[in-house]
Amino acid sequence: MKQFLSVHDVQDIDALVAAALAYKADPLKDKALGNGRRIGLLFLNPSMRTRISTQVAAQNLGLESIVFNVDKEGWALEFGEGAVMNGNTVEHIKDAAPVFGEYFDVLCVRTFPALKSRDDDYSEFLLGQFIKYSGLPVVSLESATLHPLQSLADIITIKEQLAEKQIKGKKPKVVLTWAPHIKPLPQCVANSFAQWINAWDGADLVITHPEGYELDEKFTKGACIITNQDEALMDADFVYVKNWSAYNDYGKVLSNGEGWMLTNEKLSVTNNAKVMHCLPLRRNVELSDEVLDSSHSVITQEAGNRVWSAQAVLSEILKAQ
């Protein structure tokens, strides 16, 4: 694997999941793989799980990792081509990224969307600049439109749960449901989850959201899309809860989403569904306490699997170097 920006960088999802689960069973089995090599973890936005799980994964592989919180600790970066830098930005990405290339063997980057211009965000301009000028293999720690390490951890979790639930012979029904939130959030997690589940072919994907919250068809094509949440939840084996802002009326919050928070009553029509969320989440806005504190919730397992997701990906990249 030369880079990890989306599901398109993965040849065989099931094989990658198997590699991740092998690391979960024996975390230090490839401790020598990263000897003498170093990864940079660059954060232009906040993180808890991605930062820590990727560091743990790196350590398990014998890699040295250095975290750089660009947004809080670095010089203000300029990305504009031909910019006259007489304002607040101090260092151009053209000058900074090659320096990362001198220090690291692999570059991992988190860059959220600005949610102002859909064209800018969906061109993945910022991530593209790190790729272009660092000369390093780049791993996305969540970009403007996708969160592939999260989606891999999500599929790992679904596969583990399927083994526990002993669902065999038919594909599980996975429902991605929009949830209310007080702020406009990116579409990354939802886009990425849809993209991975569609590519995986190990589940039937249903997406439900209020009208106006349609996602980019590039990621959802192949899924069944229903705007009636109760209908969508019928017989679901997994319910993935996530808020996103509008894609068409870009970056907007269109309603307060009354009636869309997942409750035990809503779950009663499912096949005793397991409930997933990438975290962080706002309790009793996106998801009720009663669901989160019940046996339906697999969110801690899901977050734990972020380590094995990152370890499987980093391992593939190191082996290709």
- C-alpha–C-alpha distance, residues 164 and 178, integer Å: 26
**Binding residue (CB under 6 A) for ligand CP from 246, 278, 299, 310:** 278
User: Using CB atoms within 10 A of its CB, is residue 205 exposed (0-12), middle (13-18) or buried (19+)?
Assistant: buried
The residue sitting closest to ligand CP, measured at its beta carbon, is: 50
CA dist 27 and 11 (Å) reads: 23
Near ligand CP by CB under 6 A, which window of 178-186, 213-221, 245-253, 274-282?
Answer: 274-282
Judged by DSSP in three states, 300 sits in: helix
Nearest CB to ligand CP, comparing residues 1 and 278: 278
153 versus 232: smaller Cβ distance to ligand CP = 153
For ligand CP, the closer CB: 51 or 92: 51
CB of 285: closest distance to ligand CP in angstroms?
17
One residue of 47, 243, 270, 305 binding ligand CP per CB under 6 A: 47
User: Which tokens is 118 given?
Assistant: 């859909």
Contacting residue, 134, 140, 150, 305, with ligand CP by CB under 6 A: 150
Contact indicator for 60, 27 with CB cutoff of 8 Å: yes
Shortest distance in whole angstroms from residue 277 CB to ligand CP: 9
3, 6, 50, 309: which one contacts ligand CP (CB under 6 A)? 50
Q: Which stretch binds ligand CP (CB under 6 A): 16-24, 46-54, 87-95, 281-289?
A: 46-54
Q: How far apart are CA 7 and CA 197, in angstroms?
A: 10
Minimum Å gap between C-beta 143 and ligand CP is: 12
Residue 273 or 278 having the CB closest to ligand CP: 278
Is residue 298 a contact residue for ligand CP (CB under 6 A)?
Answer: no
Nearer to ligand CP, 45 or 271 (CB): 45
Q: How far apart are CA 175 and CA 223, in angstroms?
A: 10
Query: Among 18, 28, 48, 224, which residue interacts with ligand CP (rule: CB under 6 A)?
Result: 48
d(C-alpha 237, C-alpha 222), whole Å: 18
> Which DSSP letter does residue 203 get?
S
Q: For tokens 């349609």, what's the residue? A: 214
Token pair belonging to 134: 């660092």
Give the shortest CB-68-to-ligand CP separation in angstroms: 15
Residues 115 to 144 in contact with ligand CP, rule: CB under 6 A: 142
CA distances from 31 to 22, 61, 179, 185, 288 (A): 13, 4, 40, 37, 41
* Closer residue to ligand CP (CB): 47 or 177: 47
Tell me how far, at minimum, the Cβ of 239 lies from ligand CP, in Å: 17
Tell me the site size for ligand CP, rule CB under 6 A.
Answer: 9
The dihedrals phi and psi of 205, each to the nearest 5 degrees, come to -100, 130
Residue 180 near residue 44 (C-beta atoms within 8 A): no
Q: What distance in Å separates the CA atoms of residue 282 and residue 288, rounded to the nearest whole number?
A: 9
Q: Which residues bind ligand CP (CB under 6 A)?
A: 47-50, 142, 150, 278-280
